[in-house]
Amino acid sequence: MDFSKQLSETRNANHLRLRTLIRLRTLAIIGQCIAVLVVAYGFGFPLPIASCFLLIACLALLNLALRLVYPATHRLSPTMSTLVLGLDILQLAALLYMTGGLENPFSILICVPVIIASASLPVRNIIVLGMIAMVAVTALAFYHLPLPWYPDVAFDAPLTLVAGMWMAIVSTSAFAAFYAYRVSAEAGELADALVATEFALQREQHLSALDGLAAAAAHELGTPLATITVVAREMERALGDDERFGEDVHLLRSQSERCRDIMRRLATLSSTDEVHMRQLPLSSLIEEVIAPHREFGVDISVTRDDSTGREPVGRRNAGIVYGLGNLVENAVDFAHSAVEVSTACDSETVSITIDDDGPGYAPDVLPRIGDPYVTRRGRGSEPSAGGLGLGLFIAKTLLERSGATLRFSNREGGGARVVVTWPRGAMEMSDK
């Protein structure tokens, strides 16, 4: 499965699930029935019971129809969700019309469908439902049946109270909807970024596993290639001086020998006896990370604090290699002429510092570095290639999985600085 397909499935998973909507509406039906019964028979207030229960029955029938037409795990499209939630607003507005309009203390519940939409629907659908709710609330402020009350007492709510209820409902809908939308949007961005991280790690692990595949291929090809080599030697003995075929036979044998040498080198890539392929000293790790970025016209220097004793040696970690490589690539992209990578270690910690002489992090971006979809921009610079802002998030996520902590800052003399620090034990034993 490619990244775009996985990302599409992740976003579709955020659509409103029918089972959730049915359960919420079932609670609404039960609550409306209890409220009508308590008002009519508990308090004895005059109430159009038949009309109220007819509206509640309509909601129940719609719920039943949805349950019968679609499976419980079905996720409604944004258009269908908007239609269903819009009908919920209209049903509740009709029920409030017969029970006092905005004078009814339950009128605040008209906010609920808008808030549900804000957590799962696009902005345009949220606006549509918000407008439906606002029109309904405005109409209820002027047109409604009297509030059920004691028969001998007239309840006449002052205009100020009605206006206050209208303002409370509208402001609550707007604030709660905005809050729910932002929380949902941030969760969606994080989910998309995590999908990108998983694909990046899988790609790096796949590249790391190629040496094993090459060794396996070399092993399988070894026997037929040996047979070809033996036959080539026999042909060379028999036809080596032949004017027509001698040159071709010599070429065949030399190429078969060359193939054997290539297969022999491939076979050693994942040998269990080659410990250095499975364990990576810190200096080798740094060289592996920066090697692909040396040919871009930026001087990359490496300094090491040798006063701390033995160099840490850990297992080769695809996540660490990819994460550090991403940080170095970012530094090279924004550097004017130089990037410095320095390492330091003691008995407790191992740290890698990456400095560049570029414009540094913009002040408004620096506090959010490492969040998904936050793109590094220097002062007056363009965003990095791709423009998605996922690079630093992926690097940060992979490095933190290995036990590291990251600190982003600007250098006093100009340029950006990233400090990656591990507990020494985590660095040496990390093999995730």
* Three-state secondary-structure class, residue 89: helix
- By DSSP bridging, strand 349-356 and strand 338-345 are antiparallel
Residues 350/421, Cβ–Cβ less than 8 Å: yes
Most confident range, picked from 66-80, 159-173, 179-193, 320-334? 159-173
Where do the structural domains in the chain lie, given as residue ranges? Answer: 3-198, 208-275, 277-429
For 78, phi then psi, to 5°, come to -55, -40
Q: What type of residue sits at position 105?
A: P
Using the 8-state DSSP alphabet, how is residue 25 labeled? H
Put residue 329 in one of left, alpha, beta given phi > 0 → left and psi -120 to 50 → alpha.
Answer: alpha
**Strands, DSSP E only, in 210-274?**
none
pLDDT band at 379 (very low <50, low <70, confident <90, very high): very low
CA separation for the pair 390, 372 (Å, rounded): 5
CA separation for the pair 398, 322 (Å, rounded): 8
Residues 314/427, Cβ–Cβ less than 8 Å: yes
Instruction: Decide which of 239 and 86 is more confident.
Output: 86
- Whole-angstrom CA distances from 272 to 253, 275, 276 are 31, 7, 10
CA separation for the pair 354, 257 (Å, rounded): 46
> What is the rounded radius of gyration, in angstroms, for the C-alpha atoms of the chain?
35
Give tens-digit pLDDT for 291-310.
Answer: 888 777 888 888 887 655 67
Give tens-digit pLDDT for 224-248.
Answer: 777 787 787 878 777 767 777 777 7
CA separation for the pair 236, 230 (Å, rounded): 10
pLDDT higher than threshold 90 for residue 426: no
CA separation for the pair 197, 62 (Å, rounded): 42
For every residue of 147-169, DSSP letters joined together read PP--TTS-----HHHHHHHHHHH
Fold of 277-429: Heat Shock Protein 90 (3.30.565)
Residues 302/342, Cβ–Cβ less than 8 Å: yes
Predicted pLDDT at 244 = 74
- By DSSP bridging, strand 416-423 and strand 349-356 are antiparallel
Using the 8-state DSSP alphabet, how is residue 383 labeled? P
Instruction: Decide which of 31 and 267 is more confident.
Output: 31
pLDDT band at 431 (very low <50, low <70, confident <90, very high): very low
Count Cβ atoms within 10 A of the Cβ of residue 52 and give its class: 0-12 exposed, 13-18 middle, 19 or more buried: buried
Residues 102/155, Cβ–Cβ less than 8 Å: no
CA separation for the pair 382, 15 (Å, rounded): 34
CA separation for the pair 393, 400 (Å, rounded): 10
Using the 8-state DSSP alphabet, how is residue 359 labeled? -
CA separation for the pair 105, 26 (Å, rounded): 21
Instruction: Decide which of 276 and 354 is more confident.
Output: 354
pLDDT band at 280 (very low <50, low <70, confident <90, very high): confident
CA separation for the pair 329, 376 (Å, rounded): 13
pLDDT band at 432 (very low <50, low <70, confident <90, very high): very low
pLDDT band at 8 (very low <50, low <70, confident <90, very high): very low
